Amino acid sequence: MPAADLLPDAHEALHATFGFNAFRGVQEQVVTRALSGRSTLAVMPTGAGKSLTYQLPAVMLEGTCVVVSPLIALMHDQLRSATANGIRAATLTSADADRGLTMDRFRAGELDLLYIAPERASQPHFRELLEQSRVALFAIDEAHCVSEWGHDFRPDYRLLRPLLEAFPEVPRLALTATADHHTRTDILAQLGIPDEGLIVAGFDRPNIRYSIRPRDNAMRQLKAVMDENPGPGIVYAPTRARVEQLAETLASATGRRVLPYHAGLDPEVRARNQAAFVASEDMVMVATVAFGMGIDKPDVRFVAHAGIPKSIEAYYQETGRAGRDGDPSVAVMFWGADDFARARQRLSEIEPHRLQSERQRLDALAGLVETAECRRAVLLRHFGETPAQSCGNCDNCLEPAGVIDVSELARKLLSAVYRTGQSYGLGHLEKVLTGASDDRVLQRGHDQLSVFGILSADEQPLLKPLARALQARGSLLPTEHGGLSLGGDAREILKGEASVMIVVPPKREKKKRGGRGA
């Protein structure tokens, strides 16, 4: 049956099965393709309603929709909500004792949806099962896992190709929330989906206000965010220890209910904390990135990052947990030069064939953090959109930051790094550059260097932001013993072939009223 004939039925089924009156965004386009047997890669941001795009065809089409999904917890969440909508669904995982029954139901055509993990799906046994059953559609969830360019490559996803090829007449629907241009092209190729099958939904989340600030005192900064935002919120922290510590101190500093969440907690405690958060109207969860996937809480009012996320993709996904209900929400990141230093250090442990893409990922993140442009514009351009220059709802649009050219100062700092032997930290370098001759400076003879005391008084305050920017972009790299060495484009900067701009944050006026005195 042509898709056009199925569409009125699709609207009816949308209402009958899910109780919704209309499709959202590209859902209709994606569903139409699936119903007409065409393969598709749908790139839709978190919260855009991806599940519906295969669940609805699963209900309408004859046969079962086989859904490949990477996590058992995710599958069981999906199973619960599908079953609640009256969809005949089952999961086939090691955690399911009723696998035999599920396979019988699958063969008998009694399932609309069958969820399975990629490692199980790629086994010969499963292929035999498919041959005995009727498959209407292959849905591949979190499809970026198939690509080495993606931020979450899973080799098991590569094994899906032969399975899909064994059933060429079954259409494929690949779904992901995060895929840059490279990753998209790769997913299309890996899963055998034609180029015309790519559908990309808008990534803009206009109700989220983005703000990215240098970290000076994480505790004080996070407390301020919590005081300004009384609704539910998530604070992402880089390590388990930091999660525990922040949860405790933020709770006592704000008097609000704050709970920790990380993979090291007892599964029972974790589940309890998560359930408390989902039910709460004012709780704050301090968590590692282990928290958030598959959690359906529409009224999260803020997401704060206590350190840098792994990539722009990760940032978008994590901040995207704010404001799914469409109400105003904020996303705040507090970053430090040490975050980037650590991330760049980790690059040295990466296998060579992934190094380039990981470095690009980090550079893109540094670009977002260091920009004086509209944050939303930078984000959306990263996902291949052509947004307006200014959104009016991010820190840089609301309080335009100044940009100053500090190439000259950068040359002074980098040559001080070079001339002192690329092993001293910023404290020592600052002394040398400002001509402060303490014992260490004298002992090393650094007062004899041409860079000794070359900094002017008005340059000194810019030294720290400059060092932060140079570390973010990789021109300065951390040494093993806490010093700084030259990296990236440091040589080009020294030769005057590359310039360095830094963003100077707007001066916040303490009082609402009052003059703009000098």
Which residues in the 257-316 window bind ligand ADP by CB under 6 A? 296
Does 378 bind Zn ion (CB under 5 A)? Our answer is no
Which residues in the 424-463 window bind ligand ADP by CB under 6 A? none
Among 23, 54, 138, 334, binds ligand ADP (CB under 6 A): 23
- Other CB atoms within a 10 A radius of the CB of residue 336 amount to 18
Using the contact rule CB under 6 A, the part of the chain among 50-58, 281-289, 358-366, 409-417 near ligand ADP is 50-58
Residue of 379, 393, 348, 368 whose CA lies nearest to 487: 348
For Zn ion, the closer of residues 332 and 394 by Cβ is 394
Among 15, 24, 346, 440, binds ligand ADP (CB under 6 A): 24
CB of 294 to ligand ADP, least distance (A): 8
CA distances from 39 to 168, 190, 314, 437 (A): 10, 13, 27, 70
Does 20 bind ligand ADP (CB under 6 A)? Our answer is yes
Q: Residues near 402 by Cβ (< 8 Å), separated by ≥ 6?
A: 372, 503, 504, 506
CB of 10 to ligand ADP, least distance (A): 11
Does 397 bind Zn ion (CB under 5 A)? Our answer is yes
Does 46 bind ligand ADP (CB under 6 A)? Our answer is yes
Mapped onto helix, strand or coil, the DSSP state of residue 141 is: coil
- Bridge partners of 259, per DSSP, are 285
Using the contact rule CB under 6 A, the part of the chain among 44-52, 222-230, 235-243, 278-286 near ligand ADP is 44-52
- Bridge partners of 332, per DSSP, are 211, 304
Residue 174: its H or E element: strand 172-176
Q: Residues near 5 by Cβ (< 8 Å), separated by ≥ 6?
A: none
391 binds, options Zn ion, ligand ADP, none, Cβ within 5 to 8 A by partner type: Zn ion
Only one residue has tokens 């009156």, namely 21
Does 376 bind Zn ion (CB under 5 A)? Our answer is yes
Does 178 bind ligand ADP (CB under 6 A)? Our answer is no
23 binds, options ligand ADP, Zn ion, none, Cβ within 5 to 8 A by partner type: ligand ADP
44 binds, options Zn ion, ligand ADP, none, Cβ within 5 to 8 A by partner type: ligand ADP
CB distance 87 to 55 below 8 Å: yes
Rounded to whole angstroms, the Cα distance separating 444 from 440 reads: 6
Locate 479 and state its tokens.
């040494």
Mapped onto helix, strand or coil, the DSSP state of residue 116 is: strand
Does 391 bind Zn ion (CB under 5 A)? Our answer is yes
Among 36, 51, 245, 249, binds ligand ADP (CB under 6 A): 51
Residues forming contacts to ligand ADP in the complex (CB under 6 A) are 20, 23-24, 27, 44, 46-52, 296
